[in-house]
Amino acid sequence: MDYTQLNPNQKQEMLQAIGIDSVDELFEVIPPSVRCDEGLDLSPALSELELQRQLAEMANHNSGAHNMTCFMGCGAYDHFYPVHIDQLSNRGEFLTSYTPYQAEASQGSLQAFFEFQSQVARLAGLDIANASLYDGATAVAEAALLAVNTTRRHEVLVASTLHPEYLAVLKTVLADLAVTIKEIPSRGFKVHPEDIETLVSEKTAAVIVQSPNVWGQIEDWDGCFGAAHTIPKTAGIAVFNPIACGLLKTPGECGADIAAGEGQPLGNALNLGGPYLGLLAAKEQYMRKMPGRLVGMTTDEHGRRVFCLTLQTREQHIRGAKATSNVCTNQGLMALRATMFMTSLGSVGLQEMAGQCWHKAHYLASEVSNLDGWEIAFEGSFFNEFTVHCPLPVTTVVEEGKRRGLLVGVAAAGRRMRGLSAGDELIIAVTEKRTKHEMEALVSLFKELSS
């Protein structure tokens, strides 16, 4: 079904109103040589029933967090979210609306995004936030550009413990803009403020540090941003996990100027990597150079509080080549899910969720480190993810895990995380969803494999 709704009589009436005999006349301006008269070489249309069958068959050819136990993280987490998030966000009034340019016809989306911005700013411990970007990686890249545009400096220092895919996207984005990326070396799976002090200079626009970092270890944001701020105006960019903010110090509490992160853990499914949403929060001084959509509070002609898109002069549809970014949308539906999720949790729920992540991850880490030959890779603190050295090839662990319905973690040396390590590390994430029973299954697998 192509979802059109005209019958032949209606088409005829419409052609008559236009004063033509056939639809082909409307396409006559197209030179005959470029018309595709032979038609497209695609499979014939499928009915909805056939679609359901074929899609179910393809979906059934996948294993994942729905039919295996998922200990994989590294930027995408198998968190719980309540059913009402699906139900509410699937309401057609939200799902099938466009970017809320017309304030009078879009107060629902606008208020939700305003509330989202307010919640994200609180999570990050900073003054302001935008209405979301494509994903965590692009949020980090846009944060770097924000610092570059604000300081007019052309170098960024990036922790080598940043998620390698975020670094890869950052490299792509900065490649043509004459901005140099310098990596801050790591020792013991984390970076050190004294290295930043050595590297930072009058040329440095930003110092980017992720915590917990890609290995799961908590970085010394206070020290890192303190080192960054030894040079005036250099921005401290914290790459953060929104769930961790329920327990740990926020980017703002640690002296960050800008915070960027992946918002998927807030009520969004794993979705094989997308759609997700990028979170971007900052101190107030960055507001007029923020990329992406911003919703502001105002009044209508009757003096009532209402909302509208604001500071649009930053944006591409007004500024063209001088815009702060080419980003033209937010991830509206994902941001809506995230705000619904945060509203459903509140402070208490977020704290409970973060606490369970912490306790469960630490329980599992302690059980694994009690096994002969299995060793936690770093000494520092972690939140819901940690790295272990495996006493046997990581691929064997991963493969045996799959056979037993366990996604055991992310192999650092695997080609998907290329650039991280050529070693024996396995990065294991534990969310509030993992039960003691599931963790025991993982531990006994490890034990058997190494005995």
Nearest to 137, CA basis, from 113, 156, 164, 116: 164
- Phi, psi of 199, deg, nearest 5: -85, -30
Q: Look at residues 320, 311, 264 and name the one whose alpha carbon lies nearest to residue 292.
A: 311
- Pick from 343, 375, 445, 450: which binds another protein (CB under 8 A)? 343
Comparing CB distances to another protein, the nearer of 15 and 231 is 15
Shortest Å distance, C-beta 422 to another protein: 16
Pick from 21, 26, 372, 373 the residue near another protein by CB under 8 A.
Answer: 26
How many Å is the maximal CA-CA distance in the chain? Answer: 85
Best CA proximity match to 210, nearest among 143, 150, 290, 120: 143
Q: What are 399's two structure tokens?
A: 């493969």
Residue corresponding to tokens 């197209």: 30
Does 310 participate in binding another protein (rule CB under 8 A)? yes
The residue count for binding another protein (CB under 8 A) is: 209
Within residues 239-298, the interface with another protein by CB under 8 A covers 245-250, 253, 262, 269-276, 287, 293-298
- Nearest-angstrom CA–CA distance, 137 and 139: 5
Closer Cβ to another protein, 76 or 184, answer by number: 76
Per-residue x/- track, 362-381, another protein (CB under 8 A): xx--x--------------x
Find out whether 276 and 334 touch, Cβ atoms under 8 Å.
yes
**Interacting residue with another protein among 186, 210, 217, 356 (CB under 8 A):** 356
State how far the Cα of 418 lies from the Cα of 438, in Å rounded to an integer: 28
The smaller minimum CB distance to another protein, of residues 321 and 422, is found at: 321
Site for another protein in 185-214 (CB under 8 A): none
Considering the complex, state which of residue 62 and residue 451 has its C-beta at the smaller distance from another protein. 62
In which element (H, E) is residue 441 found? helix 436-450
Binding to another protein (CB under 8 A): which residues in 408-437? 410, 414-418, 432, 435-436
- The set of residues, in sequence order, having a beta carbon less than 8 Å from that of 209 and lying 6+ positions away, is 159, 161, 162, 184, 191, 219, 221, 224, 225, 236, 237, 238, 239
237: contact with another protein by CB under 8 A: no
Among 69, 79, 138, 406, binds another protein (CB under 8 A): 138
Integer Cα distance of 447 and 269 in angstroms: 31
Give the x-and-dash track for 35-74 against another protein (CB under 8 A).
Answer: xx--xxxxxxxx-x--xx-xxxxxxxxxxxxxx--x-x-x
- What is the pattern of x (binds another protein, CB under 8 A) and - over residues 381-400? x----------------x--
Which residue, 168 or 371, is less far from another protein as judged by CB?
168
Q: Closest distance between another protein and the C-beta of residue 145, in Å?
A: 8
Nearer to another protein, 415 or 451 (CB): 415
Comparing CB distances to another protein, the nearer of 200 and 377 is 377
* Residue 194 token pair: 């004294």
* Residue selected from 8, 152, 232, 301 as contacting another protein according to rule CB under 8 A: 301
CB atoms within 10 A of CB 119: 19
**For 167-182, b where at least 16 C-beta lie within 10 A, e where not — what string?**
bebbeebbeeeebeeb
Give 209 or 350: the residue with its C-beta nearer to another protein: 350
Looking at residue 53, the DSSP 8-state letter turns out to be H
Residue 92 within binding range of another protein, rule CB under 8 A: yes
* 8-state DSSP, 434: -
